[in-house]
């Protein structure tokens, strides 16, 4: 009797086990690649999480958060997420839209009238919309701050007044809406919209409307609170074959909406679970309703000529604050970040209910706008996360 019951249980369990065997094999292959690339490239520390059906099913931490003091990376290690911050800026804009405070087709100068002073040889700055800024098609340059080669110069401009003074010398580089060109200043302008409509600093608004509702209590912007400093990762560059330290705990100043987020992996896993949609957490709609997130993931403009962002492929599209692509028919949504020696990747496979988080505290070489950008250690590891999505898709 017991033997028959055991056999029945085995027969019931076997299909599920077989279905996950491919995923487990893909995880094993990814881990081997991740460890090999980190070791070979001299990367000090790296972390990798897989979030599936709302749960963290893989949590890997490699190396050290402080290579001099030999402090190991662990679940409390706080990384800098750089431009992944832009996804939260975009969500904040959609929150304000859903509350009836703005429209995506509104001209940006309605909320940031100082932008009327930019030089636009293609028309009038009043034609530049909030939606174009979110999809990086407004025509603004990439870099925010050209001065960072002297020790007395700030890491990023600390005050809006400094960027405001540069606006008469800022040129729109192409007809707004006609093509893609990644722009950090464009996201700073969106940060101004959030502050002016909410009446709160960007950091305060995001904390109240995204971080706290999602339970991301160890996440913050810019300078690290003293009680979290022991967990703050240092960052590094590989220069001439040697690892050198980047500035510790850098402040992104007025560009915070562009790239100021710091967080440990467990907090970011909560963010990924929200983005994917966790049916056990309907209160996530308090942050942003599903329909608005889906709207952000609709293709707006081709980003395939820019190999510095997104999937770094000719097939990449820009949505609203997210990059979109397909690999072997699998839909990929995400964003990457690169600043001050940190590299970070957020990648979602919404149809497979799977997301990954990958971070490095060492940059092996500078990002280039060329297909070869895919062939650096960090990129090779990031693109290999596609194999996990394929393994889940294959079992359906």
pLDDT in tens, 102-128: 999 999 999 999 999 999 999 988 999
| Site of tokens 């939606």 | 131
Q: What is the SS3 assignment for 362?
A: strand
pLDDT, averaged across the chain: 92
Q: Average pLDDT for residues 74-97, to the nearest whole number?
A: 98
Q: Average pLDDT for residues 32-47, to the nearest whole number?
A: 98
| Site of tokens 């990747």 | 345
Q: Which pLDDT does position 17 carry in this prediction?
A: 52
Tally of helices (H runs) and strands (E runs) in the chain: 11, 15
pLDDT, one tens digit per residue, over 214-231 is 999 999 999 999 999 999
Q: Which pLDDT does position 19 carry in this prediction?
A: 57
In whole angstroms, what separates CA 19 from the centre of its chain?
Answer: 30
pLDDT, one tens digit per residue, over 229-262 is 999 999 999 999 999 999 999 999 999 999 999 9
pLDDT, one tens digit per residue, over 261-307 is 999 999 999 999 999 997 677 777 889 999 999 999 999 999 988 88
Quick check: 14 pLDDT over 70? no
Give the whole-angstrom CA distance, residue 220 versus residue 207.
Answer: 8
The pair of structure tokens assigned to 153 is: 């110069």
Contact status, residue 156 vs residue 124, Cβ threshold 8 Å: no
% of the chain with per-residue pLDDT over 90: 81
């Amino acid at each position: 009797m017991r033997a028959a019951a055991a056999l029945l249980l085995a027969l019931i369990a076997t299909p599920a086990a077989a279905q996950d065997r491919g995923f487990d094999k893909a995880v094993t292959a990814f881990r081997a690649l991740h460890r090999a690339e980190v070791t070979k490239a001299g990367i000090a520390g790296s972390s990798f999480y897989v979030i599936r059906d709302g749960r963290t099913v893989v949590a890997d931490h490699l190396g050290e958060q402080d290579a001099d003091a030999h402090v190991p990376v662990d679940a409390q290690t706080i990384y800098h997420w750089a431009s992944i911050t832009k996804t939260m800026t975009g969500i904040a804009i959609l929150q304000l839209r859903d509350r009836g405070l703005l429209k995506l087709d509104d001209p940006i100068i309605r909320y940031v009238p100082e932008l009327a002073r930019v030089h636009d040889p293609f028309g009038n700055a009043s034609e530049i919309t909030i939606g174009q800024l979110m999809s990086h098609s407004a025509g603004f340059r990439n870099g925010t701050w050209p001065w960072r080669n002297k020790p007395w110069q700030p890491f990023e401009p600390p005050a809006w007044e400094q960027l405001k003074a540069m606006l008469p010398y800022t040129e729109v580089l192409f007809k707004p809406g006609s093509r893609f060109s990644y722009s950090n200043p464009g996201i700073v302008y969106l940060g101004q919209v959030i502050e002016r409509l909410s009446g709160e600093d960007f950091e305060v608004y995001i904390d109240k409307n995204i971080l706290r509702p999602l339970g991301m209590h160890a996440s913050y912007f810019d300078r690290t609170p003293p009680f979290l400093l022991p967990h703050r990762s240092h960052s590094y560059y590989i220069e001439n074959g040697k690892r050198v330290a980047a500035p510790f705990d850098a402040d992104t100043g007025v560009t915070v909406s562009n790239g100021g987020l710091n967080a440990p992996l467990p907090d970011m896993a909560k963010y990924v679970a929200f983005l994917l949609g966790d049916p056990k957490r309907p209160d996530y709609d308090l942050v942003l309703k599903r329909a608005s997130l889906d709207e952000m993931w609709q293709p707006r403009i081709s980003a395939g000529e820019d190999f510095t962002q997104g999937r770094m492929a000719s097939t990449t599209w820009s949505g609203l604050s997210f990059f979109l692509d397909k690999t072997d028919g699998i839909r990929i949504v995400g964003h990457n970040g690169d600043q001050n020696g940190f590299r970070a990747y957020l990648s979602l496979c919404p149809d497979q209910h799977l997301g990954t988080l990958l971070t490095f505290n060492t940059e092996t070489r500078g990002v280039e706008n060329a297909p070869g950008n895919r062939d650096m250690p960090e990129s090779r590891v990031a693109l290999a996360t596609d194999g996990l999505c394929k393994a889940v898709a294959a079992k359906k």
